[in-house]
Structure 1
Amino acid sequence: MKKAYKSLILASCLLALVVVSLGAYTRLSNAGLGCPDWPGCYGFLTVPNETHELSVVEQNFPDAQVEPAKAWIEMIHRYFASFLGLLIVILCIIASKHRFNKQSDTQSLPFKHSVILLALVLLQGMLGMWTVTLNLQPFVVMGHLLGGFTILSLLVLLYLRTKARSTPANFAMHNGSFFMATFALGVLVIQIALGGWVAANYAAPHCSGLPICSNIELFSIESVFHLPIGQSNYEFGVLPFETRLSIHFLHRIWALVTALTIFWVSWKLYNKEQSEQIRGAIKLVCLVLVTQLLLGALIVHFQFPLLLTLFHNIMAAMLLLTMVRLCFLLTNRQGVAI
């Protein structure tokens, strides 16, 4: 049972990465309102294309125009997300079953972890609905993005816990290594949130040029706090140019802070830790970070091409996962079989 459980978690991790990638592609291809209702598409389980279906759409959505390409992008994302939700429900049921029977390995399945994942999936479903019904309100869009990243991270952490050959050590005895790593992780989470805020406000193209924006004289901290509220539709953004430029440039500034923090923490940990597995995890974090920085520069240089920007989103998720793995290894000195 435990082997099948671990395989199911691994499948869920891979599917969650696909869902996060599809969500990023949906945002970047401006397909977030490809279906103006939820959970279906114009009242159907698939994108309407038959004559009688289009007649129903015309009656129920008189101001809408069906764009099949965008609608299918949105629906495929929903299909995959729904399947991921089903897998997490199954994981929770299995953990619950083991918790309340008397098998010897009952404690080997993290019950509370599974329940938290289930609660997050339900919240993520609500955020997905509000993303559409509130017409891409940026706070909701950013929350939906962070929810996806959180679910992915918790699934990977669940996989690491089930693969562990020992229980977590008392990390307080390890000279602050865990706290240094979690501090760097917190800085990274802020950077991911800022990236989500850039995407939610369509602010990426408003800061061209390297290393600073070509219109940097328009930057102001006060402008960052110009919030997108009170609109009926937020598609393509509602904030003024200087606000979006400021949001993007703040993301770049914090990217520098994040990079310096992670490199500094990595250097300190690499010199302190003797475990080859932990040192390998540190090297992987740095490799992914360098890749992410190069991608960011290339995106601006080539004027924000969709595929590079999508890869930038995926690498942000990978950087987060490598940091989560490093933090886990620092609490589990005997390692995990991965």
Structure 2
Amino acid sequence: MQISFYQKLILWASLLAILLVGLGAYVRLSDAGLGCPDWPGCYGTLTVPQSEHAIADANQAYPDRPVEHGKAWKEMAHRYVAGVLGLLILLIFVKSWRLRQYIHVSPWLPSFLMLWVVFQAMLGMWTVTMLLMPAIVTMHLIGGMTTLGLLVWISHRHNGEFYVLSNQYAWLRRAIRFGLLLIAAQIILGGWTSTNYAGLACTDFPLCHGAWMPAGMDFTTGFDVARELGKTASGENMALSAYTAIQWTHRVGALLVFVYFALLAWHLKAISGLQRDAWRITILLVLQISLGIANLVLHLPVVLAVAHNVGAALLLTQMVILNSRTTRKQRG
């Protein structure tokens, strides 16, 4: 009975983490990341100021950041869902130690996840207090994806099916591991593109400013992790060449991911026990590439941009599941 509850708890936490990734993307892409100028509350309250008196007090306390209800509620909804997920992970942490003789992962993994969520909450605070500094926001996005990946891994160890690859497919096991690292790297590039608002640095496709490799791209400024949003290290406004470098690099990464995952799926289809995984990778890959192109052609509509973020989360989820499926099940 206890282990059954534990299995369901992890599964629901994983689903909530996917929702939170999408919600976080929506907040960021709708420019609501600073909808509340403080943390963890909003203008000093646990909700959003509603009455005229409360709004007047909030505007007086933050004269440079007047209350915008739409943006504020988006940000607080994100925080509320994050809070619920944090409580679920706390419960998973407690249950993992109580059931450590029966679960299929080391209880230290949920312990690490608990500490990671605390760090993720701090990143959420710094995102606001450091005014959407790209490095912090990107780390916050990576933190969310890492939380999702760890939850999915723990969930699959308890709820999923497994397939042990024979020694002749040891190379494929390594290829699957590398695929997870590759999609993680591409998510980082995508996060950096999004947090720098470089998604429309070049709107033509497949070329970028009419060239396969535009001249004069400023990679030094584009990938300077110490700078403020939209600024160079010296405090000047970033030039288009820096944004172009970010966007172009993300495109190159997408091409590498597409080729690698297409080949990986082709090899997986030859193994009867992994054919469903191959089809899921293929479908998610085609969907993700299509969304990326559509975002460029249609000038980054919020719905498609959020879908592109969720697509990345689902592709990561599938690769975590595939890695778990091909890893021997532990005791429990």
**SS of 1:48's equivalent?**
coil
**2:146 corresponds to 1:146:** no
Query: In the alignment, which residue of structure 2 is the partner of 1:260?
Result: 259
Contact 1:206 1:244 in 2 (8 A): yes
Q: Kindly state the Cα deviation for residue 218 of structure 1 after the two structures are TM-superposed.
A: 4.5
Inter-CA distance 23–210: structure 2 relative to 1 (3 Å threshold) = same
Q: Kindly state the Cα deviation for residue 171 of structure 1 after the two structures are TM-superposed.
A: 7.8
Contact 2:284 2:315 in 1 (8 A): yes
Counterpart mapping for 1:18-33 below 5 A? 18-33=19-34
**Hey, what's the Cα distance between the residues in 2 that align with 1:164 and 1:297?**
33
Query: In the alignment, which residue of structure 2 is the partner of 1:115?
Result: 111
Query: In the alignment, which residue of structure 2 is the partner of 1:317?
Result: 313
Unaligned segments of structure 1, at least 5 residues: 100-104
Which one of 168, 185, 202 corresponds to residue 180 of structure 2?
185
Inter-CA distance 221–75: structure 2 relative to 1 (3 Å threshold) = same
Counterpart mapping for 1:87-236 below 5 A? 87-99=88-100, 105-108=101-104, 110-164=106-160, 174-214=169-209, 216=211, 217-220=214-217, 222-223=219-220, 225=222, 227=224, 229-231=226-228
**SS of 1:81's equivalent?**
helix
Runs of 4+ in structure 1 over 3 Å off: 105-110, 168-174, 215-219, 221-226, 228-234
Query: In the alignment, which residue of structure 2 is the partner of 1:10?
Result: 11
Aligned residues: 323
Counterpart mapping for 1:38-57 below 5 A? 38-57=39-58
| Superposition CA RMSD, Å | 2.4
CA distances 1:108-131 after superposition (whole Å, capped 9, x unpaired): 464122112111111110100000
CA distances 1:146-192 after superposition (whole Å, capped 9, x unpaired): 110111111111111112577x9698774222211111221111111
Which one of 277, 302, 308 corresponds to residue 304 of structure 2?
308
Counterpart mapping for 1:245-256 below 5 A? 245-256=244-255
Query: In the alignment, which residue of structure 1 is the partner of 2:269?
Result: 270
When the two structures are superposed, what TM-score results if normalisation uses the length of structure 1? 0.88
Contact 2:104 2:329 in 1 (8 A): no
Q: Kindly state the Cα deviation for residue 229 of structure 1 after the two structures are TM-superposed.
A: 3.9
Query: In the alignment, which residue of structure 2 is the partner of 1:102?
Result: none
Inter-CA distance 137–293: structure 2 relative to 1 (3 Å threshold) = same
Q: Kindly state the Cα deviation for residue 205 of structure 1 after the two structures are TM-superposed.
A: 1.4
Q: Which amino acid aligns with 1:185?
A: L
Inter-CA distance 165–311: structure 2 relative to 1 (3 Å threshold) = closer
Contact 1:88 1:117 in 2 (8 A): yes
**Hey, what's the Cα distance between the residues in 2 that align with 1:269 and 1:18?**
29
Q: Kindly state the Cα deviation for residue 248 of structure 1 after the two structures are TM-superposed.
A: 0.5
When the two structures are superposed, what TM-score results if normalisation uses the length of structure 2? 0.90
Q: Kindly state the Cα deviation for residue 208 of structure 1 after the two structures are TM-superposed.
A: 0.5
Inter-CA distance 171–195: structure 2 relative to 1 (3 Å threshold) = farther
**2:68 corresponds to 1:73:** no
Inter-CA distance 279–37: structure 2 relative to 1 (3 Å threshold) = same
CA distances 1:206-251 after superposition (whole Å, capped 9, x unpaired): 11011022365355264565526454887xx953211011100110
